């Protein structure tokens, strides 16, 4: 979910008018003027507290590993990596504010050099398809989702965006909540849900390659977080994790949103770094860090090479 337009534009104005260093993406301090994150709770920055929705994480123990331990609304224990249409409209508002603040020329330059992080499709498959898969043809459904992602990128391109990092779906069949409701007595991974994510990812990568060839001056990267996360889950002991099938919060079986709360504090693990998952649907900060550390330098060099 995006930063509110007014606040985000203020940040961008400060970057643009004071020649600030921008957003550092790599260990060698390669920077971008700004980072815009669009999508679902995998990249959720926690700014929906004032919106009418049950999808909130503004109660403890969410955010307990932040400085001060406050729950900000982010779906995680610490740092991590709206409908997409609403997010697009908010960005349009941000562009207008930025143009008024620093002028159209500087605004265009800032936007064209910024990094746009997109995560789309996880909820569509993990929730909608999981609950109603008997109503859908998965091949047609994943094609529809990829077409939606493609249309979003084209819309952003028309607004001046040129550098995109598009995340794959995570291994949805391995989520603790998926195991609980679809994995049987032994809570195995849910193969049909995992295969739906694999099918989407394959189509998304193909479509992004097509867009790269047809949108001049654009660099669109497909970022595979599916396989690195599967590796962490299947080989969690190797990476120093104690558990990869339960979330840290509560029992680790089903707790999400308001289900992850202080009433379950006696069940919540003491050290979230011991778990691959923070709650029943989101990786822990340590898992995010390990995945991103494998990707970030390569991503930044490819995106700056235009």
Q: What angle do CA 131, 132, 133 make, to 5 degrees?
A: 105
Q: Is residue 109 part of a domain?
A: yes
Question: Who has greater pLDDT, 168 or 80?
Answer: 168
Question: Who has greater pLDDT, 83 or 99?
Answer: 99
Range of the domain at 122: 5-228
DSSP 3-state percent helix, strand, coil across the chain (nearest 5): 50, 10, 40
Q: Decide if pLDDT at 277 tops 80.
A: yes
Q: Is residue 244 part of a domain?
A: no
Please list the active-site residues: 41, 279, 282
Which of 133-142, 217-226, 235-244 shows the lowest per-residue confidence on average (mean pLDDT)? 133-142
Q: Is residue 287 part of a domain?
A: no
Q: Decide if pLDDT at 268 tops 90.
A: no
Q: Is residue 221 part of a domain?
A: yes
Question: Who has greater pLDDT, 127 or 65?
Answer: 127
Q: Is 78 helix (H, G, I), strand (E, B) or coil?
A: coil
The two three-digit tokens of residue 17, written as one number:
């008018």
Q: Is residue 66 part of a domain?
A: yes
pLDDT for 181 equals 93
Q: Which of 306, 12, 9, 302 is nearest to 165 (CA)?
A: 302
Count of the separate structural domains present in the chain = 1
Is 4 exposed, middle or buried, given 0-12, 13-18 or 19+ CB atoms closer than 10 A? middle
What's the rounded mean pLDDT across residues 12-29? 48
Average pLDDT of the chain is: 79
Give 9's pLDDT tier (boundaries 50, 70, 90).
very low
Q: Is residue 274 part of a domain?
A: no
d(CA 199, CA 203): 6
Q: Is residue 239 part of a domain?
A: no
pTM above 0.75, yes or no: yes
pLDDT for 76 equals 45
State the alpha helices, DSSP H only, in 125-268.
130-132, 138-158, 176-182, 191-214, 226-234
What's the rounded mean pLDDT across residues 110-138? 85
């Amino acid at each position: 979910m995006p930063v509110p337009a007014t606040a985000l534009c203020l940040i961008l104005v400060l970057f643009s008018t004071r020649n600030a260093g921008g957003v550092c993406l790599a260990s060698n301090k390669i920077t971008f003027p700004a980072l815009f994150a669009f999508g679902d709770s995998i990249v959720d920055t926690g700014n929906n507290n004032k919106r009418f929705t049950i999808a909130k994480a503004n109660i403890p123990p969410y955010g307990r590993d932040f400085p001060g331990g406050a729950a900000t609304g982010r779906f995680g224990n610490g740092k991590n990596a709206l409908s997409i249409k609403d997010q697009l409209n908010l960005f349009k508002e941000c562009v207008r504010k930025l143009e008024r603040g620093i002028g159209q020329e500087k605004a265009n330059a800032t936007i064209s050099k910024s990094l746009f992080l997109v995560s789309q499709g996880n909820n569509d498959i993990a929730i909608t398809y999981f609950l109603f898969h008997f109503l859908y043809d998965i091949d047609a459904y994943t094609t529809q989702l990829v077409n939606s992602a493609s249309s979003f990128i084209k819309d952003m391109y028309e607004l001046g965006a040129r550098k995109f990092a598009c995340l794959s779906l995570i291994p949805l069949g391995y989520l603790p909540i998926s195991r609980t409701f679809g994995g049987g007595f032994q809570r195995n991974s849910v193969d049909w849900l995992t295969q739906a994510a694999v099918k989407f990812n394959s189509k998304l990568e193909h479509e992004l390659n097509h867009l790269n060839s047809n949108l001049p001056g654009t660099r669109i990267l497909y970022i595979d977080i599916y396989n690195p996360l599967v590796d962490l889950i299947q080989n969690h002991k190797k990476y120093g994790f104690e558990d990869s099938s339960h979330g840290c919060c509560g029992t680790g079986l089903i707790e999400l949103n308001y289900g992850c709360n202080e009433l379950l504090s006696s069940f919540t693990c003491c050290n979230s770094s011991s778990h691959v998952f923070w709650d029943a649907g989101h990786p822990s900060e340590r898992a995010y860090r390990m995945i991103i550390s494998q990707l970030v330098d390569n991503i930044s060099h490819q995106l700056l090479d235009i």
